[in-house]
Structure 1
Amino acid sequence: MPRFHTAMKLTLAAAAVAAAWSACAAEASKEGKDIQKVEVRASGAEYDARRDDTASKIIVNSEEILRYGDSNIADVLKRLPGVTVAGGRGSTDIRLRGLGNGYTQILLNGERAPAGFSVDQLSPDAIERVEIMRAASAEFSTQAIAGTINIVLRKAVRTAQREIKALAGKGKDFSQGNGVYTLSDRDGNFSYSTVLSANRLNFHWLKLIQDHGGDAQGRASLLRDADSNEVGRMEYINLAPRLNWNLANGDTLTSQSFLATNRYRVVATVDIATVFGPPQDFDGTANLVRARNDFYRTDLNWVHKLAGGGKLDTKLGLNANRNSNATRQTGASHGVPGLDRRVDILSREHGYTVTGKYAMPLADGHALSMGWDGADSRRADFRGQREVALAGKRPANMDEDFDADVRRLALFLQDEWAATPRLSVYAGLRWEGLETGSEGTGFAPVRNRSSVFSPLFQALWKIPDTKDQLRLALTRTYKAPATTQLIPRRFLANNNSQTTPDFRGNPGLKPELALGLDLSYEHYWADTALLSASGFARRITDYTRQTLLLENGRWVQTSINDGSAVARGVELEAKVPLKALMRTAQALDLRASVSRNWSRVDAVPGPYNRLNQQLPLSATLGFDYKSADTMESAGASFVFKRGGVMRISAAQSSFVTVKRDLEMYWLHKFTPKHALRLSVVSALAEDYLEENTYSDAAGSLRRNSLAPGAAQFRAGLEWKL
C-alpha cells in the first residue's frame, strides 16, 4: 500500500498543479496579458472527428450500431473496417490488425475494462458510439500495440424516450430471446437515461474431433475419433443508468453505472473411440458446469470550467465482480468409472479508479492538457476439489486459496498544435507504472513491477486545393501480461497430451514493448464519401509466446519472453453513397474494406512464424438502403477472414480455415413508432475447422476440430411509447 499512497499523492499533486496553472492564467488575464483562445472545431454539424482530429480516429455512431438489430456489441464490431472478431460459442476475442490476445485494447468510457467484464454483456442500445483508434494517444493507456477500441455508453439526452424491443432468434443449434427497455427524459438542468436488457440463449454445440499420430518414420501410429457435445443455456440481465446535472456555474456532474448478472449452465460430454494406437485415460468424460457472474461498476464524473478557457475533468470509479463456478467432472474407460471429481471456485474482485484531465488553450494555436489515471484492484480466489475414490485410486482432495492485487498509475501530458490551417500536430508523453502481487496455496508469493515511458507523435496535413489529407503517427506502446499468466499455479487437463496440455503461469514474464509507425492517405468527396489507404509497422521486443514442456510425464504449456517480432500491414477502405455518383440514385450506401497483415517472430523458425493467432487477411463488403420516407430500410454485410497455418514453436503449429459470414436485415416501420425487423446471421452456414500439431524427432500428433455451421434467423418488434 505505501506505493499506492505515493501514487495518490502524485495524483493530488497533479491536480494542484492544474489548479495553480489555472489561477496563473486567470491572473495573467486580469493584468491584461492576452491569452489566445484556440477554436478547436466549428459547429457540430460541420465537425467530423475522423476528418478533423489530428489523432486518427474512426467514429461509429448509434445509428450504425443499431442498424442490424444485434443483441451484443461483438456482432456490431465484426462488420467494421479493420476489426475482426474471433472465437464465438461463449468466448469472444476482438482484434485490430488481426491481433487479439491483449494486443488490442478494449476500453469502456475511456478506461480499461475491469476483470470479469465481457463486451458480450453490453447491449448495443446502451452504447452511444464506438471509437476506433489505430495509433495510441497519451490520454488513454498505451497498452495498445495493435490499437484501441473505446466503447462509450449512452450520454446525450435530447428528448424524452420510451422504447421497447423484443427479439426472437432460431437456428439449428440454438434458440434465443432478447428484450430491451430504454427510458430517458429531462427536467430543467437534470436529465437521466437507462437501458435495461435481458437475454436467454439455449444451445447445443457440436464439435467433431479427430487425433492422428505418426512415428519417427512417418507411419500412422494413432487414429482416434471423438464427439464433443455442449448442451446448455446462458442468461443475462443488465442495467445501464445515467444521471446528469448541469450546475449553475456551468459545471456538470454525471453518475453512470453498469450492472450485469449472468447465469451459465452446460453439460459437456466427450465420447472417444480409439481406432488404433494407445488409448486415453478416459474414453468418455462429462462435465456439468453451473456458473454465475455478477458485475457492478459506477462512475461519478465532475467537469469544472476554469478561467481562461480551461477545464478540469475528474472521475472516481468503483467496481466489483463476483464469479462462482461449480463443476462436476466424471470419466470412464470401457464403461468403468475412473474419475468423479467436484470442483468449486469462488472469485471476488473489487477496486477503484481515480482519473483526471486538465485542459487549457494556449497562445499560438496550442491546446495543452495533462492528467492522471490511477487504479487499485484486489482479487481473492478459492478453489476446492473433492474426489470419490474409484478403481482403487487415492482421491486427490485439496483446498487452494489465491489472492492478487493490481495497482496502476499513469501520468500524461499532451499538446495539439494547429501550426497552419493545413497542418496540425499532436505530441504526447505518458508514463505508466504497473505493480502486481499474488500469493496462495502451492506457490511462493510473487510480486512484479514494471513501467513504460511512451513518447507519441501524430500529424495531419490537409493537401492544398484538394479534399485529400495525409496522416503520420510514431508511437511507443506495450502489452502487459495478464494476471493469470503470472500465477505459477497449474491447471490440469483430464486427458493430458501435447495438444491438450496442462497450463501454468510464469511469474517472471515482462511486458512486451513496441515501436510503431502508421501512415495513411484519405480522400473525401461529397458528404460521407471516403477512400483511404493506410499502412502500419510494429517492432516488438520481449515478445511473449507459448512453449510446451514435459514435466514428470505430463505436458505443460506456459508463457515465456523470447526475443523480438515484427508486424506490418496495409488497409484499404471505401465508403460510397450512391448519390455521390448519381444525383438521381436511391439512398444506397456502399462500403468495403480489405486488411492484409504480415508478421514474423524471430525466435520461431519459418515459414508461417506469425504473431499469436494473427489473421493475415480480412475483408468486408456491404450496403445499406433507406427509402425516401425512411419507413423502409435494408442491408447486407459480407465478412471474409483467412486464417491459414501459424508456427507457434519449432515443434508446434496450428491452422484455422477460411471463414465467410453473410448477414442480411430488413426493417419495416408500420408507423414512425412501430417497426418489424427481420435478419439472417451466418447465412452461408459454413463449418469451422481448427487444427493443432505437435511434431518432434519421436513422431507427431495432430488434432482436428470441426464445428458444423448453422444459419440463424431473427425477428424483432420495436415500439416507441
Structure 2
Amino acid sequence: MPTRLTRIAAAVLSLCATCASASTEQPRLSDEVVKVEIKGSAAKYDARRDDTASKTVVSAEEIQKYGDTSVNDVLKRLPGITVGGAAGRSGGEIRMRGLGAGYTQILINGERAPAGFAIDSLAPDVIERIEVLRAASAEFSTQSIAGTINIVLKKALKSAQREVKFSQSKSSGASSPSASLQMSDKNQDGKTSYSFGANVWRFMYDRSTPTREIGTDADGVPDLLRTANWWDAGRGDGFNLSPRVNWTLAGGDTLTSQTFVNWNRFASNSRSRTEIAFGPGPDYDRVDSSYSNHSGFGRTDLNWVHKLAEGAKLDVKFGVSYARNSADSNQLGGNNGAPITLYRVVHSASSEQGVSTQGKYSMPFVFGQRADGDDDTAAATEHALSLGWDAGVTQRDDLRMQRDADLPGSSPINSDEGFNAKVTRLALYGQDEWNVTPLWSVYTGVRWEGLETRADGGSIDAVQNRSSVFSPLLQTLIKLPNKKDQLRLALTRTYKAPSTAALIPRKFTATNNSPTEPDRRGNPNLKPELALGLDASFEHYWGEGGLLSASVSMRRIENYTHQSLLYEDERWVSLAINDGRAETRGIELEAKFPASALMDNAPKLDLRASVSRNWSRVDSVPGPDNRLDQQIPLSATVGIDYKTPDGQLSTGSNFSFRNGGLARLSGTQGGYTSVRRDLDVYALWKLDPQNNLRFAVSNLLAQDYTTESIYSDGNGTLNRMTVANGETQFRVTVERRF
C-alpha cells in the first residue's frame, strides 16, 4: 500500500504542478461500438475499459452535477477538451487536442447538427450521456481529425418518472432563469413507453468590451494608438423539446420515434466609441447598432430494429430535419462629430431541409471451440461483423441583402448575396470487432464517404465541388495478464471537408475594414484536408473506479487549410485556401480514483486530474509559433467530489486551466490568447426522496480574457487587442421528483 500510495500521490502532484507552473503570458461508433466480449455481469461493464475502440462515456449524473445550463460548461471540465472564448460568454468553440475550426467533430445522436445550430444552446437536462472518441470508427463519419464528441439525447425510460427543475443564475452583468420538465412512463404490458423532456430559458446581459489598436511603422516607431469601448446589452429566449416513444413489436423487434426541437430568439443594442491618441482614425469612430435573430431547428427520426437468427440484427433509421434562421441588423456610423455617413441595413435568412437514412446489419459469430477451464487458454475467436450505410440530401436556401443609404460623404456598399445549395452525401462502411483471445481484441473498419455540393445564385458563379475519402481504420486492445494494465493502439485515416459556407464565393463586408478586421469571402476550390493518425495509450485500473492513463497521438495533415489575407479594390479580404502540410502531436495524462483506493475507512472522496500537452507545425507558415488553428498548447483539470455517508449532501470543485500564447497564422498574420482559469464549485442537498436543492458557482476567479489580432509586413505592424471582462456566476436550482 505505501508504494501504491506514493506512486499515485506523486502522479497527481505532478499534474497539479504542471498546471500551476504554466506562465500566464507564454506562449468515443453510433451509440456504442459492437461489444462481443463475455463479461461476468452487465453491471461490471465499463466502456472506457472494455471496448476495443477507445471511448470515454460521461453519464447523466456527471453532466448534471454542477447544474449547468449550457453543454459547453460541462465539456470544459472533461480531460483533453477545451472550450474557446471567455468564460460565461456564448459561442465558444469546442476543441479536442486543442484544435477547433472543424477538426473536432460534434454529433447529436451520431449525426451532425445543421449549419448555424449553436451547440451551447443544448440544455444538459435533455442529454443521456456524452461519448468522447479519441480515434475514428467506421460507423461514424471520419470527419474527425482531432476526435469526436457524440451527444446522446435521453433514451432511458423509467416507469412513472416526473421531474421538474427551476434555476436562477446571476452575475455582475448577466441574469438567466430557466426551467425544465422530464417525464417518462410505460403501459402495463411494457410494450409501449414514452419520455418527454422540455427546457425553457431566458438570459439578459449588459456589458462592455474595451479594444485597443497599436501600430508601428517599418522602423518600429509607434504611429497609431486608438482605444474603443463597445457597450452591448441584449436578451435571448429559447426552448428545447425532446419527445420519444418506444414500441416493442412481435418477435422482439422495436420501433422508436424520437424528435428534437430547438428554438431561440435574441435581440441586442450596442454602441462603440473610438478615441484617437495619434495616427489615423477608423472609417467610423462612433457606431450604433441593433441586431435581432430568430432561429429554429427540428429533427425527427424513426428507428426500426429487427432481430434475425443466430443473434444477427438489422438496425434501420430514417430522419427528416428542418432549420430556419433570420437576422436583421441596423448600423449608424459617423466620424469626428460630423453627421452620420453610414446607415446600413442588413437582412439575412436561411432555411435548410434534409432527409437521411442510416442502416446497419450486424452479426456475431465464433470460429473454433472454446477450451474447458481457464478462459485465458480459450481457443475460440469471437467476431462481431457489421455492414452499413449513411446517406442524406440537404437543400439550403440562403439570402443576404445589404443596403447602405446614399449620404453625403459616404461610399455605399450595396449587395444581394443569395444562393441555393444542395449537398448530397453517401457513406458505406464495414467493421469487425474480433476477440482473438480473452486478453486481445482487434477492431478493423473501412469507410468510404462521398460528398457533393452544388450551389448557384444571382450574385455568385455556379459552384460544384465533389470529394470522396477512403478511410481504413485499425484499433487494438491488449489486456495484460495481471488484469489491471492494458495497452491500446489505433491507426486511422480521417479528414475535414470544407463547409458549405466556406465554398460559396459571397462577400461579407466589415464596418471598419483593416488587416485585423477584414471582409470575408468563400472559396469554391477548397479541397478536404486529409490526415493519417496514430494513437497509443497505457491504462492502469485498480479497485473500484481507480484509473491512471497515459496516451500519445500524432496526425499528419495534407491539404492544410488556413485563412489567407488579400488586398482587393482597396479593401482587405480574408478567405480560406489549401496550403501544404501540417503536423500535430500530443500527450495526455489522466488520473482518477476514490480515496478508498488509497486507504481503508476513507471518506467518500473522488479525486481526478488530467494534463494535455499539444504541439503542431504548419509547413507553409514561418516559425516560431506556427501552430495549427491557434492550437491550445496546454490544458489541465483538477477536481474533487465528496458525499456524506448518508448520501444527503454532495459537494465538489473543479479547476480548469487553458494556456494561450502567440500563434502565427501566416507570414503576416498572428493571434494571441491569454491564459484562462476556471474554478467551479457545487453543492447538492437531498432534502428528502422527492426534493433537491443545488447551488453552484462558476468562474469563481472571474479572470479577464484577452485576445489579440496581429498584422505585420514590411511597412509596419498593427495590433488589435480586445478584453472580455470576467464575471463570477451564482446559480441556484430547485429539483422535485414525483
Match of 1:389 among 391, 403, 406: 406
Output the amino acid matched with 1:67: K
Q: What residue number does 1:85 align with?
A: 83
1:143 partnered with 2:146:
no
Highest relative contact order (Cα 8 Å, sep 6+), 1 or 2?
A: 2
Q: What is the CA–CA distance in structure 1 between the aligned matches of 2:685 and 2:411, rounded to whole Å? A: 65
1:563-582 to structure 2, matched below 5 A, reads 563-582=580-599
1:278 partnered with 2:280:
yes
Confirm or deny: 8 A CA contact 2:417 2:507 kept in the other structure: no
Q: What residue number does 2:416 align with?
A: 399
Q: Could you tell me how far 1:235 is from its partner in structure 2?
A: 1.0
Output the amino acid matched with 2:97: R
1:173-192 to structure 2, matched below 5 A, reads 173-187=173-187, 188-192=190-194
Q: What is the CA–CA distance in structure 1 between the aligned matches of 2:311 and 2:59, rounded to whole Å? A: 28
1:162 partnered with 2:162:
yes
CA deviations 1:619-651 (Å, max 9, x no partner) are 000011111221100010000000111000111
1:510 partnered with 2:527:
yes
Q: Could you tell me how far 1:326 is from its partner in structure 2?
A: 0.9
Moved more, 359-368 or 411-420: 359-368
Confirm or deny: 8 A CA contact 1:631 1:672 kept in the other structure: no
Match of 1:312 among 308, 314, 317: 314
Distance 1:441 1:40, change over 3 A: farther
Confirm or deny: 8 A CA contact 1:116 1:295 kept in the other structure: no
Distance 1:297 1:132, change over 3 A: same
Confirm or deny: 8 A CA contact 2:286 2:333 kept in the other structure: yes
Q: What residue number does 2:6 align with?
A: none
TM-score norm. by structure 1 comes to 0.94
For residue 249 of structure 1, give the secondary structure of its aligned residue in structure 2: helix
Q: What residue number does 2:441 align with?
A: 424
Confirm or deny: 8 A CA contact 2:342 2:410 kept in the other structure: no
CA RMSD of aligned residues (A): 1.2
Q: Could you tell me how far 1:49 is from its partner in structure 2?
A: 0.8
Q: Could you tell me how far 1:90 is from its partner in structure 2?
A: 2.7
1:397-546 to structure 2, matched below 5 A, reads 397-546=414-563
For residue 567 of structure 1, give the secondary structure of its aligned residue in structure 2: strand
1:73 partnered with 2:90:
no
Match of 2:342 among 331, 339, 356: 339
Q: What is the CA–CA distance in structure 1 between the aligned matches of 2:503 and 2:266, rounded to whole Å? A: 27
Q: What is the CA–CA distance in structure 1 between the aligned matches of 2:352 and 2:324, rounded to whole Å? A: 6
Q: What residue number does 2:638 align with?
A: 621
For residue 92 of structure 1, give the secondary structure of its aligned residue in structure 2: coil
Q: What is the CA–CA distance in structure 2 between the aligned matches of 1:570 and 1:675, rounded to whole Å? A: 40
1:363 partnered with 2:366:
yes
Q: What is the CA–CA distance in structure 1 between the aligned matches of 2:727 and 2:312, rounded to whole Å? A: 55
Structure 1 unaligned segments of length 5 or more: list them: 1-36
1:709-720 to structure 2, matched below 5 A, reads 709-720=726-737
Confirm or deny: 8 A CA contact 1:207 1:706 kept in the other structure: yes
Confirm or deny: 8 A CA contact 1:592 1:619 kept in the other structure: yes
* Percent pairwise identity: 55
For residue 551 of structure 2, give the secondary structure of its aligned residue in structure 1: strand
Q: Could you tell me how far 1:401 is from its partner in structure 2?
A: 2.2
Q: Could you tell me how far 1:395 is from its partner in structure 2?
A: 4.6
Confirm or deny: 8 A CA contact 1:316 1:354 kept in the other structure: yes
Q: Could you tell me how far 1:42 is from its partner in structure 2?
A: 4.5
Q: What residue number does 1:47 align with?
A: 45
Q: What is the CA–CA distance in structure 1 between the aligned matches of 2:163 and 2:452, rounded to whole Å? A: 45
Distance 1:408 1:615, change over 3 A: same
Q: What is the CA–CA distance in structure 2 between the aligned matches of 1:519 and 1:708, rounded to whole Å? A: 40
Output the amino acid matched with 1:363: V
TM-score norm. by structure 2 comes to 0.91
Q: What is the CA–CA distance in structure 1 between the aligned matches of 2:36 and 2:488, rounded to whole Å? A: 22
Q: What is the CA–CA distance in structure 1 between the aligned matches of 2:136 and 2:733, rounded to whole Å? A: 39
Q: Could you tell me how far 1:442 is from its partner in structure 2?
A: 2.1
Q: What residue number does 2:602 align with?
A: 585
Q: What is the CA–CA distance in structure 1 between the aligned matches of 2:52 and 2:411, rounded to whole Å? A: 66
**Paired positions, count:** 685
Q: What residue number does 2:676 align with?
A: 659
Confirm or deny: 8 A CA contact 1:280 1:495 kept in the other structure: yes
Moved more, 152-161 or 483-492: 152-161
1:678-689 to structure 2, matched below 5 A, reads 678-689=695-706
CA deviations 1:199-239 (Å, max 9, x no partner) are 11101232110000111111111000000121101111110
Distance 1:644 1:393, change over 3 A: closer
1:187-226 to structure 2, matched below 5 A, reads 187=187, 188-226=190-228
Q: What residue number does 1:127 align with?
A: 127
Confirm or deny: 8 A CA contact 1:366 1:417 kept in the other structure: yes
Distance 1:116 1:298, change over 3 A: farther
Q: Could you tell me how far 1:561 is from its partner in structure 2?
A: 0.4
Q: What residue number does 1:14 align with?
A: none
Q: Could you tell me how far 1:663 is from its partner in structure 2?
A: 0.3
Output the amino acid matched with 1:606: G
Confirm or deny: 8 A CA contact 2:630 2:665 kept in the other structure: no
Q: What is the CA–CA distance in structure 1 between the aligned matches of 2:286 and 2:205, rounded to whole Å? A: 21
Output the amino acid matched with 1:525: W
1:314-329 to structure 2, matched below 5 A, reads 314-329=316-331
Q: Could you tell me how far 1:464 is from its partner in structure 2?
A: 1.0
Q: Could you tell me how far 1:586 is from its partner in structure 2?
A: 1.0
Q: Could you tell me how far 1:110 is from its partner in structure 2?
A: 1.2
Q: Could you tell me how far 1:394 is from its partner in structure 2?
A: 6.3
1:699 partnered with 2:697:
no
Q: What residue number does 2:231 align with?
A: 229
Moved more, 553-562 or 438-447: 438-447
Q: What is the CA–CA distance in structure 1 between the aligned matches of 2:728 and 2:36, rounded to whole Å? A: 53
1:600 partnered with 2:617:
yes
Q: What residue number does 2:32 align with?
A: none
Distance 1:244 1:698, change over 3 A: same
Q: What is the CA–CA distance in structure 2 between the aligned matches of 1:671 and 1:200, rounded to whole Å? A: 29
Output the amino acid matched with 1:259: V
